[in-house]
Amino acid sequence: MGAQERQLHPDKSPRHFYGSEIRRLRKANGNMSLARLAKIINYSVSHLSRIEGGESKPPEGLSELLDSAFGTDGHFLRYYALAKREPFPDKYSTFLKLAATAREHSSYTLSVPGLLQTKAVILAILQAGEPFADPTEINDWLTTRLRRQERLYRQPSECRYWFILDEYALVRPIGSPAVMVEQLSRIEEASRLPWVTIQVLPLAEGVHSEMGGSALTMLKTEDGSEVAYEEGSRSGTLFEDSQDVQHRQGLYDLLRAQALSPGDSGAKIRTSVEGFKDAARRQA
């Protein structure tokens, strides 16, 4: 017996309705499997599955392929006009799902990236960001973030990581000097992993393309598709359209060019470690 297909919710949004129409017409055409349809239109099964489930926005060009496969004379093209304008539902949870299986993970962050944060720094950031949250909520968020880090250290690595850290993250204290020594040492240790590259974007570079936000992440998923995620302090936006993703990839490439080399970045991190060690000794 085959695996039971997940329930769809066509009334949730135009995007979910678009996906439900894919399944309806598959079933109406000889109970066609998703894999069979993916082969007909030369598409990734996993990507098509996410679109059918309403998790991913249908990309430009897919509607014509579906109309041709089903002989539906512009049916999907008409619904695409609505689906493409819909803000991404549950965008952060979808981003996390994609990040959990991504093959390449590249990011720029103004502060220490979540995947590299120590427990003490995670707690400090959560408590500052959500000062009215219940301690149980804080603990749940802490546990979730620590669990996300496990993949980074798993061997053999399933993903290639590239982190660009603003120098701001190396000099702004979070907690005591001892907490910062632990945090910066963690970053330095991670940089020695063969599948991790860390660069520092120096303050001396001045203005750059991401000064308007706090984080930009580029993912290459396991099916080879690419997405981008821009995050502020209270909101985020997931981009799937190829033009949007390519635009942000270009911005990320500029950040790489502005950042210090991995070797010089390591030296910059060690200098910050020594500075906080001196501060810790003065406090002792």
pLDDT of 194 higher than 70: yes
Q: Is 75 helix (H, G, I), strand (E, B) or coil?
A: helix
Going by the DSSP 8-state scheme, the letter that residue 118 receives in this structure is -
pLDDT at residue 3 is higher than 60 = no
In the predicted model, is pLDDT for residue 233 greater than 80?
Answer: no
Average pLDDT over residues 44-58: 86
Q: CA dist 260 to 9, 94, 162, 263, Å?
A: 48, 32, 13, 8
Domains of the chain: 14-83 (1.10.260.40), 91-283 (3.30.870)
Q: Cα 68 to chain center, whole Å?
A: 33
Amino acid 83 reads A
Residue 57 binned pLDDT confidence (cut-offs 50, 70, 90): confident
Tokens of 149: 């880090």
- pLDDT (0 to 100) of residue 131: 86
Q: Are strands 215-220 and 236-239 parallel, antiparallel or unpaired?
A: unpaired
- Before 58, cis peptide (omega within 30)? no
Stronger pLDDT, 57 or 215, i.e. the higher one: 215
- pLDDT score, position 90: 58
Q: CB-side exposure of 22: number of CA atoms within 13 Å?
A: 31
pLDDT of residue 18: 94
pLDDT per position as a tens digit, 117-145: 999 999 999 999 888 777 877 888 899 89
Whole-number pLDDT of residue 1:
43
Q: In the predicted model, is pLDDT for residue 234 greater than 70? A: no
Q: Which two tokens stand for residue 156?
A: 């053999």
pTM: 0.72
So what's the pLDDT on residue 258?
Answer: 97
pLDDT band at 85 (very low <50, low <70, confident <90, very high): confident
Contact call for residues 90 and 98 (beta carbons, < 8 A): no
Per mean pLDDT, which range of 79-88, 170-179, 265-274 is the poorest?
A: 79-88
- How far is it, in rounded angstroms, from Cα 128 to Cα 118? 15
Determine phi and psi for 6, rounding to 5 degrees.
-70, 155
Q: Which token pair is 119?
A: 């427990």
| Bridge partner residues of 230 (DSSP) | 216, 237
How does the average pLDDT of the chain come out, rounded?
91
Banded model confidence at residue 7, pLDDT cuts 50, 70, 90: confident
- Residue whose entry in the numeric block shows the structure tokens 């949870």: 93
What is the longest distance spanned by two Cα atoms in the chain? 76
Answer whether residue 152 shows pLDDT above 70.
yes
Tens of pLDDT, residue by residue over 95-116, are 888 999 999 999 999 999 999 9
Distance CA 47, CA 256 (A): 29
Residue 161: which pLDDT band, with cuts at 50, 70 and 90? Answer: very high
Among 89-93, 195-199, 215-219, the minimum mean pLDDT is found in: 89-93
pLDDT for the residue 121: 97
Pick 7 or 24 by higher pLDDT.
Answer: 24
